[in-house]
Structure 1
């Protein structure tokens, strides 16, 4: 099932990437309709801009994800290894569509590196949440419940690295984008949306801590006794709340990416 989900998500990513470059081309040329766009405009973007080069790399990586997910099912270890690497490459290219791409010199490289690390850590967290939610389905077999118990307890070290990376790179990005200025906290401003994002991030941290120190050990004990239905249901509820918070964060990040912090 995970391979099918990866293929579907990668296909969606391809469709969104094609729409993205069309929007970019329309904005760069000032065309009133998409029908006015000509092939040389897209060629110029892909071959003449960093955004276009990153877009091309992302498209190739997503196409590889679709191909591997569909045609490498007999080699699951290799399949998921390639999916992880190609997915990470595709995710990292989004940095060239954010604020970091607007910097110059050494500051640009620091900002892009911070953005990429932030994206990779966020992708690892959201990807792990999706896997845990799938493993905690009410129809999950005892084998999958045991796997959920092992992985949820074993995710602690990786989770710590993910949280530390998100915190450090988030602070670096804030400094590079805004600096020491105090933000305007009105609801629709850059600062207001950023505070909302941080509140949701804190909520995810609280839920993750509850999972790590209470619900996952509770599930481990329940697996040993063979009566794990309640523990799985409780953990799944927490995971669903955490996934909902992550989804809202992604929506806020999409909004923050097109807002100018100068309005703060």
Structure 2
């Protein structure tokens, strides 16, 4: 039961973290001045993401302590929690993550929506995303390769948050959009192409580095022989499907919307197609985060 709770809490933290970083960066990157569409949804959404990360991190600290101590009763003892926080990188990272998310929540309450708030939230979101390297396999590698693996893991987590968080923001925009916002949304979709391409390149490169340390080239042929390898295959399949949808959005659906806007034709059909595609891509992203949450609790093949 505790193992299930740990996985569920990891999924919640990942989901909140990608929104906390990717969404404000997307808003900062995409909209300037009076041409921005209605963004009233953004601050409540980011507040919820910050609350999920903060509470999820603290709950995960207790759950992880219970796994290590052997029972929930032992986990809530001050001595057990104190050791977890001060004696392990895992516990320290969870506390830092929760504190950073709470700072983000304060900013989201105190500041008005705009570039200053998006900048602060993005900076705090970077810290939250990077902290996952110390609660997964990224900080476990010893020897001269350890720093390389840790940096690759940090970049991998940040790149995933950039893509998935921006995807969440795009989905929210298309679900709430009004007719006069179509042009602004098209510009945002077009502008996201560069950020999305960068995120994908970073994910592929750092994914290869992580696989080198966690699996090793000599074990690639037998990757499906254990649960970790099977989940990695599932993760790659989900990533491939998301990449195919992203390519369709960029090279087919977004240009179709642009053509409709340029010629003055109705854009309802083009928007509907984009909305459906983004909803499916978002669903695949949530499933991918679930797979990653499980993988983080399993020993990688290189450690067996």
Provide TM-score, normalisation by structure 2: 0.81
Tell whether the 8 Å contact from 2:75 to 2:81 is kept in structure 1 after alignment.
Answer: no
Tell whether the 8 Å contact from 2:160 to 2:199 is kept in structure 1 after alignment.
Answer: yes
Unpaired runs of at least 5, structure 1: none
Equivalent of 2:55, from 15, 29, 34? 15
Q: Deviations over 1:82-120 (max 9, x none)?
A: 111111211110110111222123322111111110111
Q: 1:157: how far off? A: 1.6
Distance 2:250 2:72 in 1: 51
Equivalent of 1:178, from 196, 210, 215? 215
Q: 1:52: how far off? A: 2.6
Equivalent of 1:72, from 83, 89, 111? 111
Distance 2:182 2:52 in 1: 30
Q: 1:226: how far off? A: 5.0
Equivalent of 1:128, from 157, 166, 176? 166
Are the structure 2 counterparts of residues 229 and 134 from structure 1 closer, same or farther at C-alpha, using a change threshold of 3 Å?
A: same
Provide TM-score, normalisation by structure 1: 0.92
Distance 1:105 1:3 in 2: 43
Equivalent of 2:282, from 213, 222, 243? 243
SS in 2 for 1:185: helix
SS in 1 for 2:177: coil
Are the structure 2 counterparts of residues 42 and 35 from structure 1 closer, same or farther at C-alpha, using a change threshold of 3 Å?
A: closer
Tell whether the 8 Å contact from 1:101 to 1:108 is kept in structure 2 after alignment.
Answer: yes
Query: After the TM superposition, which residues 1-264 of structure 1 pair with which residues of structure 2 at under 5 Å, given as runs?
Result: 1-30=41-70, 32-34=71-73, 37-73=76-112, 76-137=114-175, 139-180=176-217, 181=219, 182-185=221-224, 189-224=227-262, 225=264, 227-262=266-301
Higher relative contact order (CA 8 A, sep 6+): 2
Q: How many residues align?
A: 260
Tell whether the 8 Å contact from 1:100 to 1:112 is kept in structure 2 after alignment.
Answer: yes
SS in 2 for 1:54: helix
Q: CA RMSD in A?
A: 1.8
Unpaired runs of at least 5, structure 2: 1-40
